[in-house]
Structure formats: structure tokens, C-alpha cells
Structure 1
Amino acid sequence: MQKQQYDQLQETVYSEVMPNGLRVYVLPKQGFSKTFATFTTDYGSIDNAFVPIGQKQSVEVPDGIAHFLEHKMFEDEEGDVFDTFGKQGASANAFTSFTRTAYLFSSTDDTAVNLHTLLDFVQHPYFTEESVEKEKGIIGQEISMYDDDADWRLFFQLLGNLYDRHPARIDIAGTAESINRITKDDLYTCYHTFYHPSNMILYVAGAVEPQEIFELVRSNQAEKEFAPMDHVERIEVDEPATALHSKAVEKMSIRLPKVLLGYKLSLHNETDNLLYQEARLELLLETLFGEGSEAYETLYSEGLIDDSFSSEAMIERSFSLAALGGNTPKPEETEARLLDIIEHAQTEGMDEQRFERMRKKLLGQLVKQLNSTEFLATEGTRYAFHGASVMDAVEIMQQVTFDDISGLLQSEFRIDNRTTSIIDQKAEADA
């Protein structure tokens, strides 16, 4: 068991690598009532081409299979695992992102019992042809629901504009056509490759004793057998640095149009410094467009944006982007104004005092989040996959300089790597 102390935050993170390769992190928060645990695989929707464990040839699986697999993991011979957690006083959930699939629970007591349940059901796949076919209908309905969600369509239209070949352009749930191609054997292939303990992290944050957690996990894992595995071989695509399309407009039956401006970045190439890259990008976006900025206040007072306006910094394993936008009665005008603000900042510079205020704001938000066991477990896992610790975030945020974000604005926010996604209102005749 290793121990890493963070004196500035008065926190200690304990970790251990099990003999089968599973990485376990424990962050004790004495005095807290809720414990939060996540069991996460470094596997998401973009991992659709890889070399299966024990094989030499690569395969390409149907889009949406990581999300499909997440759904199927909650069923076993005994029934629905959600019911088991409920009877044990825990709240369970799961999610699939572009690069991760996580299974989690929160509870105020019986942590050991619920932790055993979490480890056991995730490490016990049970798929039948009948249950796979039944799930296709359920997920098909979910896909239809997202197809009717204007914000979801806005974002994935943006990704489709930015990326030519990278699977980030594909909806996490896949399409009705792609999930219909999924077989039981496909699910087992993906499971045995990506759900190997060496590709997974267990993170527990809350009122727990680290030594007790490690002893529980050691005992649990010693009872199971897994095939040897060195690493997961993923097939990467050769993606251009420029955006595929500069603009796309879709019409839907909505109350207000929506606009999203996006930039295809190269920050994921610096994954050994993930926290620094995220801090740079977040501070840049907050300095230019955060609440209280001149740009935000002007656009808001003119009625071009409302409270839905936000910016997003996304840095994942093999892609990164920045996006900003929201509801607007005049999407074309709002797009032009956002571009003017960025171009003016590139030629005339930004407000350094504003940058310092935003740094203090983000630091305050971060320190507050570090008191959330859910944030600690989910974000702690994400950074651990990149060899970093979420506890370093405060120090790194303090290290980012005004010159850092100014250089980022010049190098990454270009004409050739940007795009605009608009969801406009249907005309009454078209509705």
C-alpha cells in the first residue's frame, strides 16, 4: 500500500496494485456520511477497433457497443443487480463516455457488502442471445429519445463537423442500425479485452479505513482467475488537424434556436500533463466568456444569449476540443459576435486582471468540489488513468500564467480548425 499526502489540502490518497493488475485508490474522508465507489474501465465509445485479448488480428465492432455492454452488465442469472444494491441500502448507477465505462454506488453504511457486490457483478458477465435481442429494443428507444434532444443533436452535429474519421464523431449510444448488428459474441470479445483488471481502476472515497478496503479487495480478487494481459492494443485513426466542415445547420421543433462554436484542438497530445492543459483551457474560456466578463454581459444585455450559455473544455485520450454557445434568438449574429470577440482578443490581447479573478473563482469551485466524494471518485479515476492525481489540480491551477492562456489562444483557436453547429427552428409550414 502506497501513501501520497497533499499537505496544502490536508488530504491523503492510498493506493495499491493488485497481483492481477487492478489499481485501487482509497481517499478516506472521516466525518462524511456518504461513501462513493467507482469501478471503471479505460474503455468507451471511441474504442471500436482493437486487437482482442489472446488474438493477433484487429477487429472492428459495431458503434455503440461499449454503451450496450454497460446496460447488459446489470443483468445476471439472479436478475437485476440494481435490486440487490437497493436491498443493501445503496444507490447504484453507471455511465459510458467516449473513453470510460464506470459502475458506481453510494451508501451511508454497509460499504463492505456493497463493494463486494460492485466487484462481483462487474467481473461476472452474463449474456444470452435472447437478452441481447431484448436490449436492442430498449436502447433503440433511448437512441430515439436522444435524437429528439436538441442539445444532444447540437453537440454531436458539432463533433461531426470537426472530425472526419475519429470515432468521437459517432453518438455514444451508436445508431439503430449499428446496435442491431451487435451479437452476444461481440459483447464477450469487448468484455474480455477491456474489462481485464489491468485496464480498470477501483476508487473509493468516504468514511472508510484504507487498510480494510485493501484487504477486502485483495481477498475478493484472489478468488477469481483472469487471462494474462500486458496492454490493450487499440487501432488509432489518422485524423487531420483541420475541421471537416466549417458549419452545419439542422432544423427542429424548438422554442429557441441554438448555436455552438467549436475548435478542434491538439492538447490531448500532452496527456502526460493533462491537468495543466485542462487548467489552461478552462482559464482561457472563463477569461473570455465566463459570467462577469465584458463579452458575456454585453451579449446577455442585448438578448443574444441567456443562462444556457456555457463553455466546455474536453481533453480525452485521443482528441480534445473547446466549445461554447447556448440558446439564442439570432444564431448567425451570435456566431459572428463570438468570432469577433476571439479575433479581437488575439489581436488586442485579453484582460489580465480578469484572468486573475477567474483563477480565484475556479480555485474556489475546485476546493469546494474536493469535498464531494462523488467528484473525488469519478475525477480521481479519470486523472489516474492519465497517471495524474486530481489532488494536484489546485497547485497546477495556481501555476498557469497569463502568458500560458495567451499562447493557447494564438496557437489553437484558428480558422481552419473551427466549426459552427446550429439547431434552428422549423418554419410553421415544415413543423
Structure 2
Amino acid sequence: MQVKHYKNLDETLYTDTLANGLKVALLPKAGFHKTYAVFTTNYGSIDSKFVPLGQQELTTVPDGIAHFLEHKMFDKKDGDVFEVFGRYGASSNAFTSFTRTSYLFSATNHVQENLTTLLDFVQDPYFTPKTVAKEKGIIGQEIEMYDDDPNWRLFFGIVQNLYPKHPVRIDIAGTVESIAKITADDLYLAYQTFYHPSNMNLFVVGNIDANETLKWITANQETKTFAPAAPIQRQFPTEAVDGSDIIPYRVIEMPVNRGKSVVGIKGLDQVKQDRSGLVYRTTLNLLFDLLFGDSSANYLRLYDKGVIDDTFGYELNVERTFHFAALSGDTDNPQELSDAIIAILDHAAASPELTADRLELVKKEALGRLLQSFNSLEFIANEYSGDHFGDATLFDLVQIIEQITLTDVKQVAESFIRQAAISVFHIEPKEG
């Protein structure tokens, strides 16, 4: 087991890779009564085209299968796993994103029993045609609910503009039509390919003893047999490197009281899955804080004019095979809002907001938020488990933030913000 102490955080991280390939990270937190664990596979909604384990040919599975699989993992022949966690006083859940699926629990006692339950249920799939058919109705209702959510439609509207080919454009849950095609055999195929321990990681944080916890995990894994590990082959559509396949503008109508506007920026370059990728993402975050943070002159000017309100904000998604930024808000005039955002983006690298003094201020604010977040076991575990930047993790962020310069920010602004990479999506109130 490797031990690394981060002086600037006063945290000690214990890591190990087991014989079956499972990566384990343990973070004891003195003074915490709760323990939080998250078991993650590097498999999400975009991974619909791949070579199944032990085969040679590419196969394409129905959209939404990763999310469907997550739902079905809790349903076992002898009952519901939630009930097992409940008997040990734990709260459990799971979620699927574009690139990962995570299963988790939090508990104040019976940590060994709950860890065993977590590992055992995720590593013991049980699907039948009958249970799969039942789940289709449940997930179908979930999909229809999100179809009626204006904010959800706004987000996927801009993603579909930016990525008209890439599977990121498809709702994580799939469509009613796509999940209707899912079979038990499809679920087993995806499970056997992506749920191998070598494609997974386990993070446990809280009131634990690292050595004792690792012994529990190792003993549990040694009782199980897995196929030999093999590299996973995935395939994604080729994206135009010049942004020529981006849909520049779309608008839809929905029954909303006010309009909604979002401006998206597509990263035209691939982000490396190493420390440089984490530095790049962090620099982008600082750039958008400088340009559009609530202490910026841009934000205050647009707010005073009534162009934006408290709903305005931005989000940045930097994942394997894609990355983009989205700036959005509610507005009476969607065109005015998107025009104002684009006007700022057009001169981002030369913006008067980008000064050494402001960067130092924004960095201090970012460091303050980060350090405060380390009081949240959920934040630590979910961030660590979800990032894929090689050996670089959120524990390196303090050093990374401190080392970023104004030159770095301006270079990222020039490389990321390009006119050809920008798209706009509006939702306008439906008349009548």
C-alpha cells in the first residue's frame, strides 16, 4: 500500500491496486463519525459502441444501457439491496454520468458489513427478461419527466448543437424507444465488459483505519474469480477538428414563463488524461471565473442592465473524448443574453478582466472553496472517483491552482474560445 501525505491539506491518502486490478483509495478523516464509500466503473452513457470482453468485433448496444444497468444492479433474486443496507443503518444510492457509473453508501457504523454489501452486490449481477421488462416502464416514466424539464432540455439542447455525432448528445437515460430494445443479454454483455475490477475503483473516506479497511477489501476480493483483465476497446464518431459540424443556433418553444438562453463552447482539442489535463481544466475554470464570476465587471454590468439575474451561471465539462463549457440563464430576451455573452467571449484573451491582481483574487477564492469542500466526504470521494487524469487528483489542486499564471489563462482563452466552436440554444415561451 502506498501512503502519501499532502501537507497543504493535512490529509494522508492510502492507495493500492489489488491482484485483480481493482484500484483502492482510502482517506481516514479524524473527528468524523460518518464513513462514505463509492465504487465506480469507468463506464457511462457514451460507451455504447465497444468490443465485448473475449470477442473481436465491435458491437453497438441500445442507448441508455449504462443507466439501465445501474438501476437493475440493486434488484437481486432474494430481494432489494437497499433493504440490506438499511438493516446495517446505511444510506445507499447510485448514479450514472456520461463517463462513469458509481454505487455508494454512507454510514456511521457497521462499515465492514456495508463495504461487503457494496462490493458483493455490484460484483454479482442478476438480470432476467421479466425484471428487465418491468424496469422499462419505470425508466420510461423517468425519461418522460426529464423531457418536460426546461433546464434539462436547455442543457441537452446545447450539447446536441455542439456534438451532433458524438453519443454525449443522447440523454444519459436513453430514449423510450432505445430502452425498449434492451435485453437481459445486453445487460450481461455490458456488465462483463465494463465491470471488471481492472476498470473500477473504490474510494472510502471517513471514520476508518486504512490498514484494517484494506484487509477487509482484499479478503473480500480474494474470494471471487474474474476473467483475465483486457484493454477495453471503445469507438466514437470522428469530430470535425475545425468545428464545422457544430449546429450554430436552434430555438424551441416550451410552456415556460420566461425564456432561457445558453451559449456553448466546444473544445476542439482532445484533453490528455494526465496531470496536464487537470491543469487545463483548472485553468479553464479560473478563466470563466475571471470573465463571468459574480465579482467580475462583466457580471455586474449585465446584472445592473437586467440582462442576467441570479439564474445566470456557467458549467464546465471536461471528460474523456469531449469537453465543453455552457453559460446560461433565464431571461425575457434570450437573444440579448446570448449576444452579450458572445461579445465578451469574442475578446476573452484581451479582456480587461484578465489582470494579475484579479487572477490572484480569483485563485484565493478558488482555494477557499476547495479547502472548504474537504469538509465534505461526498465531495472528496465523488471528485476523486470520477476524474481520469492519471496520477493527478483533486489532492494536487492546491498546488496546481497556486502555479497557474496569467499567461496560462490567456493561452487557454485563445485555444479554447474560438468563433467556430460557439453555439447558441434558446427556449422561448410557447404562445397560447
Separation (CA, whole Å) in 2 of partners of 1:268 and 1:204: 31
Partner of 2:81: 81
Secondary structure of 2:39's counterpart equals: strand
Match of 1:341 in 2: 344
Give the counterpart of 2:313 among 310, 313, 328: 310
After TM superposition, give the deviation of residue 346 of structure 1 in Å. 3.7
Judging changes above 3 Å, is the alpha-carbon distance between structure 1 residues 326 and 386 closer, same or farther for their aligned structure 2 residues? farther
1:61-210 equivalences in 2 (<5 Å):
61-210=61-210
Note if contact 1:159-1:169 (Cα within 8 Å) is conserved in structure 2: yes
Q: What is the CA-CA distance between 1:370 and the residue it aligns to? A: 1.5
Structure 1 pair 103–158 and aligned structure 2 pair: CA distance change class (3 A): same
In structure 2, C-alpha distance between the alignment counterparts of 1:387 and 1:43, rounded to whole Å: 19
In structure 1, distance between residues paired with 2:402 and 2:273 = 19
1:354: how far off? 2.2
1:271 aligns with one of 269, 273, 276:
273
Q: What is the CA deviation profile of residues 204-242 of structure 1, one whole-angstrom value per residue up to 9, with x for unaligned ones? A: 010100111110011101111111122211113211131
- Of 315, 327, 331, 1:328 maps to 331
Q: Which residue of 2 aligns with 1:363?
A: 367
Report what 1:412 is aligned to.
416
State the match for 1:252 in structure 2.
Answer: 254
Amino acid at match of 2:250: A
Letter in 1 for 2:262: L
CA drift of 1:360 comes to 0.8
- Say which SS state the counterpart of residue 419 (structure 2) adopts: coil
Supply the distance in 1 between the matched residues of 2:86 and 2:427 (Cα, whole angstroms).
40
- In structure 1, the residue matched to 2:226 is 226
Which deviations, in whole Å up to 9, do the C-alpha atoms of 1:3-61 show, x marking residues without a partner?
11111111111011111111100011011111110000000000000010011111000
1:350 shift after superposition:
3.3
TM-score (norm 2): 0.97
Percentage of identical aligned residues:
48
- Bigger Cα displacement from structure 2, 60-69 vs 232-241: 232-241
Deviation at 1:269, TM superposition (A): 2.5
Q: Does 1:377 align with 2:381?
A: yes
Give the distance between the partners of 2:11 and 2:269, measured in 1 at CA. Answer: 29
Give the aligned partner of residue 400 of structure 1.
404
Structure 1 residue identity aligned to 2:342 = L
- 1:327 aligned counterpart, secondary structure: strand
Amino acid at match of 2:266: K
Structure 1 runs, 4 residues or longer, greater than 6 Å off:
none
> 2: CA distance between counterparts of 1:321 and 1:257?
23
Equivalent residue, structure 1, for 2:302: 299
Q: Which moved more, 1:146-155 or 1:293-302?
A: 293-302
Q: What are the equivalent positions in structure 2 for 1:13-28 lying under 5 Å apart?
A: 13-28=13-28
State the alpha-carbon separation in 1 of the partners of residues 10 and 51 from structure 2. 43
Cα displacement string for residues 112-152 of structure 1 (whole angstroms, at most 9, x for unaligned residues): 11000000000010001000001000000000000001011
- Paired with 2:77 and 2:181, the residues of 1 have a C-alpha distance of 24
Deviation at 1:384, TM superposition (A): 5.5
With over 3 angstroms needed to count, the CA separation of the structure-2 counterparts of 1:266 and 1:395, relative to structure 1, is farther
What residue number does 2:214 align with? 214
Aligned partner of residue 427 in structure 1, secondary structure: coil
Q: Is the 8 A contact 1:154 1:423 kept in 2?
A: yes
For structure 1, which segment, 93-102 or 263-272, has the greater mean C-alpha deviation from structure 2 after superposition?
A: 263-272
Q: Quick one: distance in 2 between partners of 1:13 and 1:215?
A: 16
> Considering only aligned residues, what root-mean-square deviation do their CA atoms show, in Å?
1.2
Unaligned regions of 5+ residues in structure 1, if any? none
Which AA in structure 2 matches 1:289? F
Residue 7 of structure 2 corresponds to 7
- Take 2:270 and 2:219, find their aligned partners in 1: how far apart are those partners? 37
1:32 aligned partner = 32
Q: Distance in 1 between matches of 2:401 and 2:359?
A: 12
Structure 2 distance, partners of 1:124, 1:348, is: 55
Say if 1:305 and 1:328, in contact at 8 Å, map to a contact too.
yes
Q: Could you report, residue by residue, the CA deviation over 1:171-192 in whole angstroms, capped at 9, with x for unpaired residues?
A: 1010011000100000000000
Q: State whether residues 267 and 315 of structure 1, in contact with CA within 8 Å, keep that contact through their aligned partners in structure 2.
A: no
The answer on whether the counterparts of 1:349 and 1:406 sit within 8 Å (CA) in structure 2 is no
* SS of structure 2 residue aligned to 1:270: coil
Task: Decide whether the 8 Å contact of 2:22 with 2:198 is kept in 1.
Answer: yes
Distance 1:289 1:208, change over 3 A: same
